Amino acid sequence: MRVYFDNAATTALDPEVLKEMYKVMESQFGNPSSIHAHGREVRTLIERSRKTIANLLHTSPAEIFFTSGGTEADNTAIRCGIIDHKLTHAITTKLEHHAVLHTLQAMEKAGVIKLSYVDVDCKGNIDYNHLETLLKDNERSFVSLMHANNELGTITDIERVGELCEAYNAIYHSDTVQTIGHYRHDLSKLKLHFLACAAHKLHGPKGVGFLHVNHKVKINPMIYGGAQERNMRGGTENVYGIAGLAKALELAYNEMDAHQAYIQDLKSYMMTKLQQEIAGVAFNGETDPAKSLYTVLNTSFPEMDMADMLLFNLDIAGISASGGSACSSGSDIGSHVLTAIGASADRPSVRFSFSKYNTKDEVDYTVAKLKELCMVSA
């Protein structure tokens, strides 16, 4: 049996998305910047895709800018948001994705900003009182806090963060790569300025995403070269990817309630099976369904010999997952997220992440293999 439990890293392309992309590839090849009929046809497709996405997120198409994915969207929001608004202070956590964390740390190293970290608890929840203190005690800040942690699944209350940022005139960016297409976002009500999406996290294609830029903030391009994306991102658009992204998000919204219930049940089932079959197993991050991303389960296993081989042995058994520990596991660093929440360096951890394509039979097979591995290594 081959089992894929690494959907937080990337998801399988939905057949309907593939069909939509193939249709475009087959017949619409014009350059969207060209003024002739072939170009206009493709330009219409891009703007129709933009409108589809904007309608689902309750925002204006003018606030959606297509990018190569979440990393570019995050970098654009952070670098341009800070530099163009002449900000010298930024706030984040040590749990952020490296697309955010490394960008901010590079800007701090270059002397552009002073960087402050919000306190987090052992489950990855941010301290909202500490966030308010940082906002209050510093000049106007740039705040970057992700919606749901990609390793732990712990969800941040972006409505509450938005209220705090508005109260202190801060600019707020959220990496929503793990939650776009899995939760509904009403951008007409959320008080944030930038939001990032990557299509391949919601059964769309790799190499495409978007950045939402609230009309209340103005930034200059990070990539120059042409007038694409209303002079905001030079370079010929990834037309096939954009069509696939719009279709993937449309499907996600149409199927969201059913898939959320199904995947949450699958996650709960795996938690129960792991606790029944493996003594000493524990879970990193929030386990309350209201506070945890339903697609992610970060599991901590008892100390064992050859702990750094756990993922390799799962792969040999046909199970794809990801993880590590708070210490070295195939690298000199390990998981910066597990380290930041104070997870034990002696216990190996595995992130299982689910999609609509997973089954309980796959869970049963995975738990049985894990039980064998834990018994052998005990």
Determine contact, residues 295/178, Cβ cutoff 8 Å.
Answer: yes
Greater pLDDT, 192 or 332: 192
pLDDT at 330 over 70: no
48 and 184 in one domain?
A: yes
99 and 36 in one domain?
A: yes
187 and 263 in one domain?
A: no
Cα(251)–Cα(284) distance, integer angstroms: 31
Closest to 211 in 3D by CA, of 201, 190, 196: 196
Q: What is the pLDDT of residue 325?
A: 62
Q: Which domain holds residue 314?
A: 3-10+256-377
Lowest-confidence pick of 112-126, 141-155, 341-355: 341-355
Residue that is last in its domain, among 251, 270, 303: 251
210 and 136 in one domain?
A: yes
363 and 304 in one domain?
A: yes
pLDDT at 329 over 80: no
What is the average pLDDT across 248-272? Answer: 98
Q: What is the pLDDT of residue 286?
A: 96
What is the average pLDDT across 104-112? Answer: 98
CB atoms under 10 Å from CB of 236, counted, come to 12
Q: What is the pLDDT of residue 375?
A: 78
Alpha-carbon distance values, 48 to 81, 239, 267 (Å):
27, 11, 36
Active site residues: 327
Cα(143)–Cα(105) distance, integer angstroms: 13
CATH code where residue 146 lies? 3.40.640.10
Q: What is the pLDDT of residue 323?
A: 82
Determine contact, residues 154/163, Cβ cutoff 8 Å.
Answer: no
Q: What is the pLDDT of residue 345?
A: 82
Residue that is last in its domain, among 232, 251, 270: 251
Greater pLDDT, 292 or 332: 292
pLDDT above 70 coverage of the chain, percent: 96
Q: What is the pLDDT of residue 308?
A: 73
290 and 343 in one domain?
A: yes
3-state secondary structure of 352: strand
What is the average pLDDT across 108-118? Answer: 98
Q: What is the pLDDT of residue 327?
A: 42
Mean pLDDT of the chain: 94
Residue that is last in its domain, among 204, 224, 251: 251
165 and 276 in one domain?
A: no
Q: Tell me how many domains the chain contains.
A: 2
Q: What is the pLDDT of residue 328?
A: 43
Furthest C-alpha separation in the chain: 69
331 and 202 in one domain?
A: no
Lowest-confidence pick of 111-120, 181-190, 211-220, 297-306: 297-306
Give the predicted TM-score (pTM) of the model. 0.95
pLDDT at 288 over 80: yes
238 and 142 in one domain?
A: yes
161 and 136 in one domain?
A: yes
pLDDT, tens digit, 9 for 90 and up, residues 62-105: 999 999 999 999 999 999 999 999 999 999 999 999 999 999 99
CATH code where residue 260 lies? 3.90.1150.10
271 and 366 in one domain?
A: yes
Greater pLDDT, 239 or 344: 239
